[in-house]
Structure 1
Amino acid sequence: MKLILFGATGHIGRGILDEALARGHDVTAIVRDASRLTLQHDRLHVAVGSVEQTAIWLAYAKHADAVIASLSARRDGDQEVIPAAAQTLLDTLDGTHLKRLLWVGGAGSLEVAPGVKVIDDPHFPAAWKPEAQAQARALDVFRASKADVDWTYISPAALIEDGERSGSYRVGGEQLLVDGKGVSRITVADYAIALLDQLDNKDVFKKRITVAY
């Protein structure tokens, strides 16, 4: 497949990039600072731009099969760019041939009990709340959209970290997935596997899913 990837210089985005190339996909990475992506590969093209600069990435979209967005606002300090980017992608892709959109979501809006979300836990780190809230607003944008876009919002486990590439994971819906010890975790490598496995999965179109061990 030919993929457009936003956020390839980020932690999770780089994991997705590595997995996509390993699978034989062609990737156009749209980055704001090309110096932060030093990887060279014959199936990787790097273009300088952002979600908001639609003319730049639409030039590549005409040949693409899917868009993947792994975005963070930590560098800018303005979390509103997250739901705004979701809206821009939906609005821009609507009416084009390119219908498939995979979004790296957050875990904070997952439920741990009926009506109780991960972010509601009093022990949820305060430093993480702005980004978790922004990702929750992005999910609201997706759910409210009438755009003709086959999006999937993919929440990781509560803890996503470096580690082995096992190829093992479970897929859930709105509830936080935990293992037998009550821990919710997944490695970046296995999250990337899970995300790319959903490219052709029509069962997850226009849905939020979560992946964890």
Structure 2
Amino acid sequence: MNVVLYGATGNSGQRILKELTNRGHHVTAVARDTSKIPSTVKAVKDDLSSVEGIASIIASADVVVSAYAPPQDNTDALLGVTERQIAAVKKAGAARLIVVGGAGLLEVAPGVTLIASGYLPEAYLPIAKAHEKALGILKASDINWTYFSPAGYFEAGERTGKFRLGTTNLIANEKGDSRISFEDYAVALVDEIETPAHERGQLSIGY
């Protein structure tokens, strides 16, 4: 497939890029600084500031993956980026947008999100709430989107290929730990690209 990956140099983006290329997909890796992208991959510089610019980059894509992470001091930048990506997907006619999301909006009990539970540390609330708003923007759109939330702890680790999937629920083990490695998240995301099962919906993951 032709896949355009935004945020290709970030923590999750690097692993998604590796997983895509290892499985033989044709990838256009997009970042503000393309010097960190392997020379074997097509690299494009873009800052997601223009609908027209995004649309031109994704014109021939089957799937667009957004691993964009907003600045810590301006988490609401995610909202404008989401709106522009949606507009660009419509303009370019790209089939699907998959967003690397957040865990804060997942349910820890029926009808109770991690944000609402009071257990999320205050420092993480701005980005969690920005992701919650971004999901609302996606839900209101008429494009083919998938919002993929990681576990509570999203960190470097191993590619085991063993994990559990959900939809709107936070996945935790029997001890209450909610974790997933960047590497296994990438496996599940590329699985979803190859075998779509959560179009116009949410997806969650954990061990």
Quick check: TM above 0.5? Answer: yes
Q: 1:30–1:57: 8 Å Cα contact kept in structure 2?
A: no
State the identity as a percent.
Answer: 35
SS in structure 1 opposite 2:130? Answer: helix
Gaps of 5+ in 1: none
Q: Tell whether the 8 Å contact from 1:161 to 1:188 is kept in structure 2 after alignment.
A: yes
Deviations 1:7-37 (A, max 9, x none): 11111111111111111112111211223x1
How much has 1:95 moved relative to structure 2?
A: 4.9
Give 1:164-203 correspondences, 5 Å limit.
Answer: 164-203=158-197
* Other-structure match for 1:163: 157
Question: Could you tell me which residue of structure 1 aligns to residue 14 of structure 2?
Answer: 14
Structure-2 separation of matches of 1:110 and 1:124: 11
CA shift, 1:191, in A, is 0.2
CA distance in 1, matches of 2:155, 2:140: 31
What is the alpha-carbon distance in structure 2 between the residues aligned to residue 60 and residue 90 of structure 1?
14
**Counterpart of 1:83 in structure 2: which amino acid?**
L
User: Please, which of 39, 44, 48 is the counterpart of residue 45 of structure 2?
Assistant: 48
Contact 1:100 1:199 in 2 (8 A): no
Amino acid at match of 1:49: D
Write out aligned runs for 1:52-201 (5 A).
52-74=49-71, 77-145=73-141, 147=142, 149-201=143-195
| Residues 4 and 64 in structure 1, CA contact (< 8 A), matched pair in contact too | yes
Q: Is the 8 A contact 1:13 1:70 kept in 2?
A: yes
CA–CA separation in structure 2 for the residues paired with 1:186 and 1:202: 21
Separation in structure 1 between the aligned mates of residue 111 and residue 53 of structure 2, nearest angstrom: 41
Give secondary structure in 1 for the equivalent of 2:197: helix
Judge conservation of contact 2:149–2:204 (CA < 8 Å) in 1.
yes
For the pair 1:24 / 2:21, whether they are aligned, the reply is no
**Offset from partner CA, 1:117-159 (integer Å, 9 cap, x none):** 11234342222111111001001111111x2x21100000111
Partner of 2:38: 39
The answer on whether the counterparts of 2:28 and 2:42 sit within 8 Å (CA) in structure 1 is yes
Residues 173-204 of structure 1: CA distance to partner in whole angstroms, max 9, x if unpaired? Answer: 11111112221111000000111111144431
> Per the alignment, do residues 62 and 95 of structure 1 end up closer, same or farther by CA in structure 2, a change over 3 Å counting?
closer
How many residues of Structure 1 are paired with residues of Structure 2 in the alignment?
A: 207
The residue identity in structure 1 corresponding to 2:61 is A
User: Conserved in 1, the CA contact under 8 Å of 2:37 and 2:43?
Assistant: no
TM-score (norm 2): 0.93
The answer on whether the counterparts of 1:6 and 1:50 sit within 8 Å (CA) in structure 2 is: no
Amino acid in structure 2 at the alignment position of 1:174 = T
CA distance in 1, matches of 2:37, 2:154: 24
Residues 152-173 of structure 1: per-residue CA shift (max 9 Å, x gap): 0000011111111001121101
TM-score w.r.t. the length of structure 1 is 0.90
**Could you list the runs of 5+ residues in structure 2 that have no partner in the other structure?**
none
